[in-house]
Structure 1
């Protein structure tokens, strides 16, 4: 494969632990760079429309972040088979995303030029990250890193022809797209002015909404200001994004501070471990769960103290009732299995994209998350999507009273339907078959962990160490139609 750079060699592999891309995964600066790159991606009309219609980044940002991180790890795995399998999965996922934006312009997530722009934003943001943190890349290193990003695009599209071959030509390409194609899209406005201000708490901090809201009220605007200040001036001017006084100094200080972590011993920072810890549920059997449970208790105490000392007026909602789950046993009592209201179930479970409506992208997001958890290949993945599509048709026929092609929260709450129709039963059966990888007719402990990322609990109907079809289908239907809390499906479909 041609590197497309001058002064670089093919001595070191473009993928794997020796790549520059891989080295950024555990770099705190990369978090700032990825936010910046995401805004530049969302500013492209095609990407912005696809995100607004299909993405779960508003309602389930932590889940989306974790899945993206895992995917990028796979795409830069040293094993070509791992990369090829992940590229095929991503291509199947993107092939299901097409439509039109609010101005009637068509978008297609498989558009090659658009996919090239996504990769371009990652490369340019990585270069900018190094420059802003006081560690600018020399030309050889920059050329080498550009070859890695072009190889990433080639792994997805079969070639990297949509990006210039030479890194010098790349900057002219990048400036042209910024000046001629980017817009102040709805997705950009959501990221900058809604997501940061209303970011839901990760599972670790879910028990302390007051404390989370207080911290978010300070950090959210700062992140927004830092991100806007780091964007290309041509785009800020084109999009009419105001730069707050002092934001440039704040942005440079943030990148410089994050860059100081390079002096920490190797291995001290592990982004994967951080994301896993943030997403742990309190009843997980992971060895870190006991620490997480203790941290949750501390967070609740701090949150209660904050409410006593500071009259907080944010819309945090009440502190959740204590769970009846016993940390040591995972046995869930009746208090922990309360029912959600119809409105709460609609918001937390059904409306996966967070736009206030239930439509096909929401159910497709559920299918996508389940297929990702189980790491499904064809044809199991297609069977799962088809089952969810049939369920959507059933829901639409029953609940879409005004005929606008989607179901509003009011339509859902007014009908208060029993969702356990034939199509939903079929979804449960297909999910069971996909989870039962050895086709034994029952889900064993390893298969259960693959889907739920936790071991069997005594509140499940387990026989001889397995979870049979009828019990699995019954529990799934109970969650989806009965709106029960504290089931294994909560962290799967309801958590942020």
Structure 2
């Protein structure tokens, strides 16, 4: 399930919703607020985060190495949240929540952008997401082991913990200053810098629209993010176009780089009779 979902370009539309749910936890939000470079280097941070996520799924032996690197990176991240409570990034409750958000977002967003998952597919997706948690160094005792255990845990976090933190408000603020992209060919970057005053406002509105729209409704409500019936209809129209267009794209446009490489290597791997 993850092999197909996580490397598809449609996953790029899903990730902001998961990130926003993560930082809606006061401890996670404080860690990002105080230690992340998302304000000064948003494009670089986004690129690094995306590559890391892709390695968990398509990296083979490199997945475990990446999981260890992330834990080492977070080892010194600690402080006090907005409620005066001490936090450490590797505290199981906080690290596990960051991981946990992926499953409900993939499940919900797939209904719009890919297809409705069957019960068997949901169970398979959850089992695979548990394996991602193990790659990240999360113990089984700190993750719900079945879907039946997951949903009460998830609803409890929504009810008891999540709020519109400072970072959440920044992520959905369409007036938040964001520098132009600093990745890609020099000529493209120059054009983007010149056009950025015109491009940034509609892109910011689109990001907010997709972030809130692809977030599970119960999480959206828990955080206090508004969503109207008119916006829901717009999202459904947009999703119909995406579902029609993406499956017919050539592979080089449909899949992200690490996913393309992994899919190519899998096709080239000799079968049992050829060994």
TM range (shorter): 0.7 to 0.9
The aligned counterpart of 1:173 is 153
Q: CA deviation at 1:161?
A: 2.3
- TM-score, scaled relative to structure 2: 0.82
Deviation at 1:100, TM superposition (A): 0.8
**1:201 maps to which residue?**
180
What are the ranges of 5 or more consecutive residues in structure 1 without an aligned counterpart? 1-19, 274-496
TM-score, normalization: structure 1? 0.47
Query: 45, 56, 66: which is aligned to 2:26?
Result: 45
More helix by share: 2
* Cα separation, 2, equivalents of 1:254 and 1:197: 25
Distance 1:89 1:263 in 2: 37
CA distance in 1, matches of 2:177, 2:237: 24
Cα gap change, 1:56/1:255 in structure 2, threshold over 3 Å: closer, same or farther? farther
Q: What is the CA distance between 1:131 and its match in structure 2?
A: 1.0
Answer yes or no: is 1:138 the counterpart of 2:123. no
Aligned equivalent of 2:9? 28
Question: Compared with structure 1, are the counterparts of its residues 68 and 239 closer, same or farther at alpha carbon in structure 2 (3 Å cutoff)?
Answer: closer
Q: Is the 8 A contact 1:129 1:255 kept in 2?
A: no
- Offset of 1:74 from its aligned partner? 2.3
Q: For residues 240 and 125 of structure 1, what CA distance do their matches in structure 2 show?
A: 17
Return the match for 1:220 from 204, 210, 225: 204
In structure 1, how many angstroms separate the alpha carbons of the residues matched to 2:15 and 2:194? 28
1:330-409 correspondence runs (5 A): none
Q: How does 1:286-305 map to 2 (within 5 A)?
A: none
Higher relative contact order (CA 8 A, sep 6+): 2
How do 1:248-327 residues align onto structure 2 when only pairs under 5 Å count?
248-260=232-244, 261-272=246-257
Change (3 A) 1:162 1:252: farther
- Residue 84 of structure 1, CA deviation: 2.4
Deviation at 1:28, TM superposition (A): 2.7
- Cα offset for 1:244? 5.1
1:133 to partner: Cα distance:
2.6
Contact 1:75 1:83 in 2 (8 A): yes
Unaligned stretches of 5+ residues in structure 2: 259-275
In 2: Cα distance, 1:219 partner to 1:103 partner:
33
Task: Say which SS state the counterpart of residue 246 (structure 1) adopts.
Answer: helix
In the alignment of these two chains, the number of paired residues is: 252
- Secondary structure at the counterpart of residue 87 of structure 2: strand
- Aligned residue for 1:35, secondary structure, equals helix
Select 2:91's aligned residue among 94, 111, 118: 111
Alpha-carbon shift at residue 158 of structure 1 (Å): 5.0
> CA 1:259 to 1:115, structure 2 compared with 1: closer, same or farther past 3 Å?
farther
